[in-house]
Structure 1
Amino acid sequence: MINVGIIGLDTSHSEKFAELLSDRSDTTVRGVWDGGDVRSDAYTEAFCRDHRARRYDRPEEMIDHVDAVMVLTVDWDRHRPIAVRFLEAGVPTFVDKPIAGSIDDVEALRRTVERNGTPFYGGSAVPYHPSLAVMRGDDGTHDLFAAGYNDPFYYGVHITDTARTICGADWTRIVPVDHGVATTVTFADGSSATLRFDGPTENPAFGVLDVGGTTRTARIDGTAEELDRMYDPFIETFVETARGDRDESDRLFDAATLLLGVQATLEFDVAVTPENPLLADVTHDGGSFTETYEPFY
């Protein structure tokens, strides 16, 4: 049995992930902490009762009582300091999307994982949607077009994670596109992806066209049914990672820098490479975002 700690109840992910974990025979929600940024104290108490979990006053109090932890705070500035404590203690750690709002935080997390060898997982669940999983299974290079909607950072991570996952190689260059809020990314294996972040918000959806081993298309609506289709394999991969049977950390950290590289390209309207010093100038304030955040449910 894997006893999981959940840190942060801000988003709908906490409830959905906890339900999936509680429904499994090999996992349970053991501990909960929430900082009160979004949810009320009554909500947290009810969450703990529903999942028969102990409520902790501080995240680090869980370290000796859980086998894995999920850091789900919507304030991504909390991710690094919380996750590092668990990673250094050898506790397999999940960090929700976006993993970090600065290159310093991404690299600090990467170094901690490499130094301690602790299993690490997280990011967006969208790449695990079945219609996209077949794309990531295609061998060879990809020519990809993907469109998303809403905030190009908080929601844009779904598109950048998807592109990095399907193309299956580290990104090498990002250039701005003249129309819309969009960039084109090239990858080390010769794949390319044009990513547009300002898709329609009426009947919103993530749309993907991939020309790889074959030509495939996918439309993922923001419905509960579509979320369930991606969350099931997403949580299964988390459990495999917590057991030490799977390691996608290299992809996750490269995708995290890709998201920041895209923001640099959009902000400064120039081509960006992983070595570009402009990456260090891009920071997104998680606290400010949290102040205006409203959960999906």
Structure 2
Amino acid sequence: MMSVIAHRLFASLIVLSLWTGLCATALAEEPMLRIGLVGLDSSHAPAFAKAINDPQTHPGLEGAKIVAAFPGGSADLPVSADRLAGFTKTLADQGIAIVGSIDELVSQVDAVIITSVDGRVHLPQATAVIAAGKKLFIDKPMTNSVAEADEIFTLAAQHKVPCFSSSSLRFAPEILQLKEKSGGVGAITGCVTYSPCATQLHHPDLFWYGIHGVETLFTLMGPGCESVACIRTEGADEVVGVWKDGRVGTFRGIRSGKSGFGAMAFGTAGIASATVKVSYEPMLVEIVKFFRTGAPPVATGETLEVLAFMEAANESHKQGGIPVFVKSAQTAAK
């Protein structure tokens, strides 16, 4: 009897060993994904590089490496000009090649992440990357307007280049749990999200930082917002959206007092809240997967609607807080 058990155990160990070897071989044979960064004036650039290039990398980032970077920078934006040299040195010290142009960059990489902190430069930078046929992820804010984002997506479609943009909050595990059945909420009937909402020179109010909370709102509610009303004070924005099915979603942008990232979801089965511990790895895993498959995890239409929501909120503020149709914001961009 013991002999039979020992024989079966030995056979199982052989099978396990072979399977492990096959998995290791498959990983070894998968070509390295060479990634380039455009724009080193954002704290996201060194953070992304550290996460992706770490030998003890997060599961899902194996086989990817940031190998080259173009500094870029905006002289008329202090938050860019004051940090560019320091972040560039940080990446150079990590052994990442610093190049003098986007054209030089794309010749050395398979895919590109635009991390430029200035949303104004994303359109020309994306245009150069798309022309080279490289898969592209654009960090927040995708652009400073719906019109510019639509132009990027149109160019990408014409050149058959996969492209997407997102806030890291869309992939936060705490938010995804609220959205899924395991969160205990059921079908979401409404929600409130919040995030810091600092503003910045040359950028529409919500585009700079409020986009994190707005993207969280759309992650939970989905697309389909019809109108937006915005109340703005020195310390906060209160933005209320009405969806076409009658659901209501609210974003609170915080500029004074205690701040943070989170949401409360109201559903058919319960009410639950989540505080988000910001981490880039979940989004980076999705980016690497996208670079390998070419399948964007966020629909183009939803990204455009997120931007249109923010444009409508700004227009509502200008008009004293009256509701503004999101469709009108998209139409005005055409």
Into which bin does the TM-score normalised by the smaller protein fall?
Answer: 0.7 to 0.9
Q: Which has the larger radius of gyration?
A: 2
Shift of 1:137: 2.6
1:5 paired with 2:48, answer: no
Whole-Å separation in 1 of the counterparts to 2:299 and 2:104: 25
Match of 2:113 among 66, 70, 92: 70
Q: Secondary structure at the match of 1:105?
A: helix
Match of 2:274 among 218, 242, 249: 218
1:235 paired with 2:291, answer: no
Structure 1 unaligned blocks of 5 or more:
221-225, 282-297
Q: Secondary structure at the match of 2:254?
A: coil
> Which has the higher mean CA deviation after the structures are superposed, 36-45 or 189-198?
36-45
Contact 2:311 2:329 in 1 (8 A): no
Whole-Å separation in 2 of the counterparts to 1:113 and 1:79: 13
Distance 1:156 1:91, change over 3 A: same
Q: How does 1:73-152 map to 2 (within 5 A)?
A: 73-138=116-181, 140-151=187-198, 152=205
| Corresponding residue number in structure 2 for 1:60 | 103
Distance 1:118 1:191, change over 3 A: farther
Letter in 2 for 1:183: V
Shift of 1:56: 1.0
Q: Secondary structure at the match of 1:164?
A: helix
Letter in 1 for 2:196: Y
Letter in 1 for 2:291: A
Q: Number of paired residues?
A: 272
Structure 2 unaligned blocks of 5 or more:
1-31, 55-60, 74-80, 199-204
Normalised TM-score (structure 1): 0.82
Contact 2:195 2:262 in 1 (8 A): yes
Q: Secondary structure at the match of 1:196?
A: strand
Contact 1:102 1:280 in 2 (8 A): no
Whole-Å separation in 2 of the counterparts to 1:126 and 1:191: 22
| Corresponding residue number in structure 1 for 2:19 | none
| Corresponding residue number in structure 2 for 1:207 | 262
Considering only aligned residues, what root-mean-square deviation do their CA atoms show, in Å?
2.5
Q: After TM superposition, what 4+ stretches of structure 1 lie above 4 angstroms from structure 2?
A: 177-180, 277-281
1:249 paired with 2:280, answer: no
Whole-Å separation in 2 of the counterparts to 1:42 and 1:35: 13
Whole-Å separation in 2 of the counterparts to 1:211 and 1:43: 41
CA deviation profile, 1:233-266 (whole Å, cap 9, x unmatched):
1001111111225321322232222222222222
| Corresponding residue number in structure 1 for 2:210 | 156
Match of 1:38 among 56, 64, 82: 82
Q: Secondary structure at the match of 1:31?
A: strand
Match of 2:315 among 244, 255, 264: 264
% identical equivalent positions: 20
> Which has the higher mean CA deviation after the structures are superposed, 75-84 or 134-143?
134-143
> Which has the higher mean CA deviation after the structures are superposed, 187-196 or 162-171?
187-196
